[in-house]
Amino acid sequence: MSEAKLISLLPAEEWARRERRRCSPCAELWTVLDHVMDPEIPVISIYELGVLQDVQQQGEAITLIFTPTYIGCPALGIMEEDARVALAAAGYHNVTVETRLAPAWTTAWLTPEARRKMSAYGVAAPEHDAVSCPQCGSAQTRSISEFGSTACKALFRCETCLEPFDVFKDL
């Protein structure tokens, strides 16, 4: 019997990112970084957000690969510093952060857990071009402004409960 071929439901880049983590010899470092939260949505980690792409270690030297949610993200510097502080507290002091802009970050990189946590926090993540209200779950939403509380978010309003909410731009 031939081996079945699986079709991934993830973008190739996200599948590769998850595989890098799953096969990484640096499991302890990934675990430490799981406690580094996004400063703008402090209920999700930089990994769940999709910003943390890889963790590499050569001897005492640690290299983190970050992809910002968009070019010029003001939170990126805070994420880098928070990652350095977390790793230093765990005994890792020689840390370099490399920023890569390609492939570009996309909301498809958000983990399912990140989407759930974001919704509970009041920020929606679009899924298949649909935006549901994080307050009541209604799909009856509309865009109010392409500019939300940060440049990577837009402002929407629910037509059912009338609450405004941020939505990660579907990049």
Please give the model's pTM, rounded to 2 decimal places: 0.83
**Cα R_g (the chain), whole angstroms:** 17
Looking at the chain, which residues constitute the CATH 3.30.300.130 domain(s)?
12-107
Report the pLDDT value the prediction gives residue 121, as an integer from 0 to 100.
93
Report the pLDDT value the prediction gives residue 171, as an integer from 0 to 100.
65
Rounded to whole angstroms, the Cα distance separating 56 from 53 reads 10
Report the pLDDT value the prediction gives residue 168, as an integer from 0 to 100.
84
Report the pLDDT value the prediction gives residue 125, as an integer from 0 to 100.
83
Rounded to whole angstroms, the Cα distance separating 121 from 12 reads 28
Rounded to whole angstroms, the Cα distance separating 142 from 139 reads 9
Report the pLDDT value the prediction gives residue 74, as an integer from 0 to 100.
87
Rounded to whole angstroms, the Cα distance separating 108 from 15 reads 10
How many other C-beta atoms can be found within 10 angstroms of the C-beta atom of residue 130? 10
Rounded to whole angstroms, the Cα distance separating 103 from 140 reads 32
Reduce the DSSP state of residue 36 to 3 states and report it.
coil
27: Cβ contacts below 8 Å, ≥ 6 apart: none
- Stretches in the chain below the pLDDT threshold 70: 1-9, 171
**Token pair in block for residue 46:** 């930089």
Bridge pairing between strands 153-158 and 61-66: unpaired
Pick among 3.30.2130.10, 3.40.50.300, 3.30.300.130, 3.40.109.10: CATH of 12-107: 3.30.300.130
Report the pLDDT value the prediction gives residue 21, as an integer from 0 to 100.
95
Report the pLDDT value the prediction gives residue 1, as an integer from 0 to 100.
47
Report the pLDDT value the prediction gives residue 128, as an integer from 0 to 100.
72
